[in-house]
Amino acid sequence: MKKLLILMFVAVIMPLTALGQTKQINEILDKYEKRKGVESIIISPSLLQIASTTDVDASTKDLLSKITEMRILNIKSGAVESGIPIRLSIRKELDGLIGTDMFKRIVMVKDGDEILEMYITNTTQGVLLFLTTNPGEFSVISIFGNIDKTVVNAAMSGAIKVK
C-alpha cells in the first residue's frame, strides 16, 4: 500500500515538473506572439500526424508521432517595443529559463553570421528548443512532446521535416 502511494505520488509529481517547463516556454511564446514585427506559427499534433503519414520514411513517421506540437516564433531585428528590441527582451527571458538545471544545451553551431543553439529539457516529456540568431531575425523553434534520444538524434541529423 505504501509502495503504491509512493508510486502514485511520483506519477503525479513527474508530469508536473515537465508541465512546468513546457508551460514556461509556452508562456514566453504567448507573450510575444502578437507583437508587431513578430511571426508565430503553431503546428498542432493533428497536422504533424498527417505529415507523418504522408512521409514514406518509417523512422520519420515514428519520430513525428512522438511530437505533440511545434511552435515557431520569428522576431525581426527591427521589431522594437518601448525602445528595446523585442529580440533582446525575449532572449533575456529565455536565458533565464534555459540557464536553469531544467535545460541542457546539446549543440551550438556558428556559421558566418548565423548561430544555432539546441536545448532539451531534462525530462523526456518536455521541449526540444532551437534558437537561431542571424542579423535579420531571431527565431525560437520549440518542439513539444516525448523528446527522447531518437527525437534528439533525428533533430541532430536533420530528419525533422514539416512537409
Partner 1 sequence: MEKIDEVKALLERYFNAETTLKEEQILRDYFRTDVKDEELLAYKPLFNCFSDEADKIKELEHIDTSIQSTSLKRSFHFRWISVAAAAALALFTYLIMPERGDSLKLIIDGVNVYNKELAMSKADGQMSNINSMMGKFKNSTAQLESMGKVGDALSPLRSMGKAMTQND
User: Which residues would be at the binding site for partner 1 (CB under 8 A)?
Assistant: 4, 8, 11-12, 15-16, 18-19, 22, 33-47, 50, 68-70, 72, 74, 107, 109, 111, 114, 116, 125, 130, 132, 139, 141, 144-145, 155-163
In whole angstroms, how close is the CB of 88 to partner 1 at the nearest point?
Answer: 19
What percent of the residues of the chain are helix, what percent strand, and what percent coil, each to the nearest 5? 45, 35, 20
Rounded to 10°, the helix 45-54/58-66 angle is 170
Write the single-letter amino acid at 22.
T
Of the pair 33, 55, the CB lying nearest partner 1 is at 33
Cα angle 33, 129, 148 (rounded to 5 degrees) comes to: 135
Nearer to partner 1, 86 or 103 (CB): 86
Q: Which is nearer to partner 1, 97 or 159 (CB)?
A: 159
Quick one: how far is CA 122 from the chain centroid?
A: 13
Cβ at position 96, least distance to partner 1 in Å? 22
CB of 52 to partner 1, least distance (A): 13
Which residue type is seen at 106?
A: I
Q: Which is nearer to partner 1, 88 or 109 (CB)?
A: 109
Report the interhelical angle of 86-98 vs 2-32 (nearest 10°).
Answer: 170
Q: Quick count: other Cβ atoms within 10 Å of Cβ 73? A: 23
The minimum distance between CB 99 and partner 1, in angstroms, equals 22
